[in-house]
Amino acid sequence: MSSTQVLVLLLALPPLGVLAFACYVLIRYTPVIGRIFEEKPVFFPLRVDPIPDGEDVSFPTRDGLELVGTYFPARTEGRLGVVVFCHEFLGNRWSALPYADYLRDEGFDLFSFDFRNHGNSDSEDGYEPFQWVCGRETRDLQAALAYLRTRPDRDPAGFGVFGVSRGGGTALAVAADEPDLWAVATDGAFPTRGTMLAYIMRWAEIYVGRWFIWRYMPVAMFAFVGWGGRLRSQWRLRRVFPDIERAASRLAPRPLFMIHGQRDAYINQDIARGLYDNAREPKDFWLVPGAKHNRCRELCPEEYRVRVTSFFRQAAPRGSRSPVASLSTEGHRVEAFAGHL
């Protein structure tokens, strides 16, 4: 019996039977999903020493916290644009340096900040951050953008955003509603809904036990259980998890560049491609062979630099699409671009 046949049988049941089955599934499995959802992975974020050539600043959030950031000016005579960096879960603003400091040599100012409960920013009482993007992180990025719009050297053209892991999901969630964000690049970004669904289906055999239930269950039923688990966790944790897939679908016509590790054990490439498929053109996906979660830069540093630089140069309102150099790495030819002010 296929999952389609099971779905037909369910639909053939009387409405009260379908309702009773759905209630059973929610009551039986939603607490299990919720507990798994609220577990934190064993994760060791990048640690980078501060450098003195940035301007340390602070700015408020809408809910009264003070966040800390550092503004790094471009190391060129003119400015092509401003790129905002969103660090990974448990990281801090200084991780922007290995990921994006080279953009300053290409004409970009770089702004990086500590999310709440991270680095030197204020901690919210009673709030425990998770690896999942929630409304607190989107609120923090919105506060960072609001601060940048008030600077005397603000860029009227807006901003590009570069986010790593949870920071990438935050960037997507916010960019969908911020028209002055002209491009989004992510490394290791993942959706909440899609990631939950992938793990639920992977663990179904362990937690359901009854093979005749999980083996032929329609995907829609697994998604339903995930929805229930998220609602439970939102209530328990007093937070809201934004729909990253929907946000990605609303980014166009702003370009998206997603980077992902082919050996990512946390977020496999199918999950990442599922998020990418939700976005519309213009978009690009770079799967880095052999790379684990958030390790693409370490594995291919030169190609990483060229690809990220090329993306922001092409996307920047004052950028250029004229190729000036190329780099051959692992059989791939990558063009770099020069900008003209």
From CA 86, how far away is CA 323, in angstroms rounded?
28
Q: What is the pLDDT of residue 259?
A: 98
Task: Please give, one letter per residue, the 3-state secondary structure of 42-88.
Answer: CCCCCCCCCCCCCEEEEEECCCCCEEEEEEECCCCCCCCEEEEEECC
* 341 residues of the chain, pLDDT tens digit each: 555 555 555 555 456 554 565 565 555 566 667 677 778 877 777 788 999 899 999 999 999 999 999 999 999 999 999 999 999 999 999 999 999 999 999 999 999 999 999 999 999 999 999 999 999 999 999 999 999 999 999 999 999 999 999 999 999 999 999 999 999 999 999 999 999 888 877 766 555 555 555 566 677 777 777 888 888 888 888 999 999 999 999 999 999 999 999 999 899 999 999 999 999 999 999 999 999 999 999 999 999 999 999 999 999 998 764 443 334 333 333 333 333 22
Cα–Cα distances (Å) from 26 to 19, 21, 139, 197, in that order, read 11, 9, 31, 15
pLDDT digits (tens, 9 = 90+) for 78-126: 999 999 999 999 999 999 999 999 999 999 999 999 999 999 999 999 9
List of domains in the chain? 3-37+193-237 (no CATH), 55-187+242-338 (3.40.50.1820)
From CA 301, how far away is CA 50, in angstroms rounded?
20
Terminal C-alpha separation, the chain: 64
Q: What percent of the chain has pLDDT over 90?
A: 65
Alpha helices by DSSP H, 149-268: 166-175, 192-208, 211-214, 219-237, 244-249
pLDDT digits (tens, 9 = 90+) for 189-225: 999 999 988 887 776 655 555 555 556 667 777 777 7
